Every structure is written in structure tokens, then in C-alpha cells.
Homo-oligomer: A and B are copies of this chain.
Amino acid sequence: MSFLDEVPWDADGLITAVAQDASSGKILMVASMNREALKQTVERREAVYWSRARKRLWRKGEESGHVQKLVELRLDCDADAVLLKVEQLGGIACHTGRESCFFRKLEDGRWVTIDPVLKDPSLIYKR
């Protein structure tokens, strides 16, 4: 029995995936995986997600070069989420050019952008 069979894929065949920087512990992003994405993630040792917007497999970093090297993979108690501890190449996970997608913080009832853009997105996606 494959480890893939122990995942109770949801009605859309997906599971939630959380990517965490293995060194800093910072949460980089939350995305979805289908069975093939999880399989390829383990085989390649690099994060592969399912893009719900583009409806296709999305090898993280395929355009940006910001590949996520898999360091450790974990499954939660009710098996509806996986946790990827990764080495984030380029130090940027977010398409906005920030380290993490969670760059907005609630302050006095408002979402405030508190993390800096490390690289202009137009320079990341020029290829």
C-alpha cells in the first residue's frame, strides 16, 4: 500500500499543503495538492502543487526559479493536510516577490502589509 492511499483526498481530489521554511520555521505558503502532485513532490524532492486557478500541476519555481527543495514531509492526524518543510531557493516563496505569502497582519481591525518586497515581480517572471 502506497503512502498516497492513506490520504483521504477530498471531493475535488485535493489535500491542503502548508510549506514551511525548514531553517527559519516561517510559514511560506498554503496551496493544494492532488495525488499526482504529492507523488511527484516525493519523487523529485521538490514541491509540486495543483494549481486550482490554472487547473494543472504546478512545479513550484518552474517560472520563477524559486524551487522548494523538500526536506521533510508530514501528515496530520486526520490526514487532511500535509506539511512540507522546505529549503526555499531564492528566499522568495510569494509571487509578489516576498519571502512569505503571509505578509499581511491584522492591526487594529485592518490587514496591514508588513513584509518587504525582496525582488520586483516583473524581474522574477520576465522569462
Binding site for B on A (CB under 8 A): 2-3, 6, 16, 18, 20, 24-27, 29-30, 42, 72-78, 80-81, 83, 94-96, 98, 101-106, 109-111
Some 29 contacts from A to B, beta carbons below 8 A apart, are A2-B109, A3-B106, A3-B109, A3-B110, A16-B30, A18-B27, A18-B30, A20-B27, A25-B25, A27-B27, A27-B83, A30-B80, A30-B81, A42-B109, A72-B106, A73-B105, A73-B106, A74-B103, A74-B105, A74-B106, A75-B102, A76-B104, A77-B94, A77-B96, A77-B98, A77-B103, A78-B101, A81-B102, A83-B102
Residues in chain B near residue A111, CB distance under 8 A: 3, 6, 75
CB of A68, distance to nearest CB on chain B (Å): 15
Contact of A74 among B6, B83, B104 (CB under 8 A): B104
Taking a contact as CB atoms under 8 Å apart, the answer to whether A95 and B77 are in contact is yes
Cβ of A49 to closest chain B Cβ, rounded Å: 13
